[in-house]
Structure 1
Amino acid sequence: MKTTAPRDQSRFAPDTASNGSVSPKNLLIAVDDSNATTRALQYVGRLLRETPNVSITLFHVLNPMPRELMEHGGSENPDMEHQLGEQLRKDQQEWMHMEETLEYPILERALERLRDTGFPTDRVTLKLGYAGDVVDTILDEVRSGGYGTLVVTRHGPPGAARLFSSSIADRLSRDLSGIALWVIE
């Protein structure tokens, strides 16, 4: 099983063809902690567990950084400006570390669900995404990772904030080109 620990997401980046094109057997599954994600993992795992050379990246997008950590108030004094900048970077790093620690178990649970289907875990990579916009983060990962297929769910848990709502799936289908999109309900 290939996994990336928080803070080292690039080590196991999916392979692209030598000409930079996408690989049809390289799947990105966007995951959250919903029952819909569990169903998607079960479907994909059972469907592809015996298909040779299929690799899967389980991808979870972290919550956006709080607004107060995006920039400091600034100062006319260059020394104070430097101190404020250093403190802001430190606060951002602490927030990222805490967020990674809180959110990484979502990837581990997704891996367990995929493993339960019989899909070989040595062909699975875990990866966190960092950005304020879920769709843009997923699209950036798809484009840079050489994925041939993106798998998302349309519905999250009832009554909860939905990571992969209909509007997100619709936006992905509109903005994604040259990649297969599986929207699993």
Structure 2
Amino acid sequence: MNPKRILIAVDASANSERAVAYVGDILCHAREAEILLLCLSKTPDRDLFPDGATWQASASKQDAEYKEFLARARGSLEQRGVDAGCIETRLVPFTGFSVAQGILGAQRAGGYGTIVVGRRGMSKEEEFLFGSVSSRVVHHARNCAVWVVE
């Protein structure tokens, strides 16, 4: 794993914005870093919508929001001094069960030495009942650093 290859997992939340800003502040003038802004787009459950057209419209709206967020996140890194050539954005359709496993799979496949995730700030009870992506990433990551930004 290459420690200069950094995967920032984002989901268009304020927590993701803080994670991106943190990385930008840390790596403000690094020229040798490679940063991937990764957004796993989980399609909304079809059963929650009255018809296929409404479901498709919702999925398209979600993807548009994610693409807009990725563009803003890239701009945020560039504003903080990160070289534009060092930044890649990727919106990946995700059909798996665990977002954390999707992030870890991308980390292993890309040889990223650092994973950065935002933390939602769940209570211990909520985290126990529903799980937490950041908690799962921390517990299951191997051979890399994990930065959890609150």
Distance 1:102 1:44, change over 3 A: closer
In structure 2, what is the Cα distance between the partners aligned to 1:148 and 1:52? 16
Distance 1:37 1:102, change over 3 A: closer
The sequence identity of aligned pairs, in percent, is 33
Say whether residues 1:39 and 2:18 are aligned partners: yes
Question: Contact 1:131–1:137 at 8 Å: present in 2 too?
Answer: no
In structure 2, what is the Cα distance between the partners aligned to 1:100 and 1:35? 17
Bigger Rg over Cα:
1
Amino acid at match of 2:149: I
Give the CA deviation at 1:67: 4.8
Q: Which runs of 5+ in 1 are unaligned?
A: 1-21, 69-90, 157-164
Which 4+ residue blocks in structure 1 deviate beyond 6 angstroms?
none
In structure 2, what is the Cα distance between the partners aligned to 1:36 and 1:42? 10
Amino acid at match of 1:149: T
Give the CA deviation at 1:55: 0.8
Question: Contact 1:31–1:37 at 8 Å: present in 2 too?
Answer: yes
Candidates 83, 88, 101, aligned match of 1:120: 83
SS at structure 2 position matched to 1:62: strand
Q: Which runs of 5+ in 2 are unaligned?
A: 48-52, 122-129
Aligned length: 134
Residues 3-24 of structure 1, C-alpha deviations (whole Å, 9 max, x = no match): xxxxxxxxxxxxxxxxxxx211
**TM-score when normalising by structure 2:** 0.76
Question: Contact 1:58–1:126 at 8 Å: present in 2 too?
Answer: yes
- Normalized per residue, the structure richer in helix is 2
Say whether residues 1:139 and 2:104 are aligned partners: yes
Candidates 61, 84, 103, aligned match of 2:66: 103
In structure 1, what is the Cα distance between the partners aligned to 2:27 and 2:131? 25
- Normalized per residue, the structure richer in strand is 2
Residues 108-159 of structure 1, C-alpha deviations (whole Å, 9 max, x = no match): 1111221221111111000112233311211111110110000001127xxx
